[in-house]
Amino acid sequence: MATSSTPPFTASEQSLSSTPPTIDIRGIVRRHGAVTAVDRVSCQVRRGEFFSILGPSGAGKTSVLRMLAGFEDPDEGDLLIDGQSMLGVPPNRRPVNLVFQSYALFPHLTVFENVAFGLKMRRVSAALIAEQVRQALTMVKLLGKEARMPAQLSGGEQQRVALARALVNKPAVVLLDEPLAALDQQLRQAMQVELKSIQEQAGLTCVCVTHHQEEAMMMSDRIAVMHQGRLWQVGSPREVYERPCNLFVSRFLGVSNELAGTIGPSVGEDRLFQPTQAEQHPFTVRTVSTEQAGRSATLSLRPEHIRMAQERPSTSDPLLYGRIEKVLFTGSETKYLVRVGRDRLWETRMTSNTSLSSFAAGDPVFLHWSLADARLFFE
C-alpha span between 43 and 340 (Å, rounded) = 40
What are the φ and ψ backbone dihedral angles of 149, each rounded to 5 degrees?
Answer: -95, 150
Which listed range, 6-14, 76-84, 92-100, 134-142, lies at the site for other proteins (CB under 8 A)? 92-100
Find the binding residues for other proteins in span 270-289 (CB under 8 A): none
Using CB under 8 A as the binding rule, whether residue 62 contacts other proteins is answered as: no
Residue 169 as a binder of other proteins (CB under 8 A): the answer is: yes
3-state helix, strand, coil in the chain (%, to 5): 25, 35, 40
d(CA 161, CA 104): 10
Instruction: Lay out the site mask for other proteins across 103-142 (x = CB under 8 A, - = otherwise).
Output: -xxxxx--------xx--xx--------------------
Name the amino acid, one letter, at 64: V
Question: Residue 99: is it exposed, middle or buried by C-beta count within 10 angstroms (0-12/13-18/19+)?
Answer: buried
In the complex with other proteins, the residue whose CB is nearer, 56 or 91, is 91
Stretch that binds other proteins, among 21-29, 66-74, 181-189, 322-330 (CB under 8 A): 66-74
Q: Report if residue 32 touches other proteins, rule: CB under 8 A.
A: no
| Nearest approach, Cβ of residue 275 and other proteins (Å) | 51
In the complex, minimum distance from the CB of residue 169 to other proteins, in angstroms, rounded to a whole number: 7
Closest CB to other proteins among residues 68, 223: 68
d(CA 272, CA 327) in angstroms, rounded, equals 31
**Facing residues of 67 across strands?**
none
x/- contact string, 221-250, with other proteins (CB under 8 A)?
------------------------------
323 binds other proteins (CB under 8 A): no
Could you tell me the sign of the dihedral formed by the alpha carbons of 78, 79, 82, 86, in that order?
negative
Comparing CB distances to other proteins, the nearer of 181 and 255 is 181
Question: Does residue number 79 form part of the binding site for other proteins (CB under 8 A)?
Answer: no
Whether the CB-CB separation of 216 and 45 falls below 8 Å is answered with no
Distance, in Å, from the CA atom of 283 to the CA atom of 367, rounded to the nearest integer, reads 12
Question: What residues make contact with other proteins under the rule CB under 8 A?
Answer: 69-71, 90-93, 96-98, 100, 102, 104-108, 117-118, 121-122, 151, 165, 169
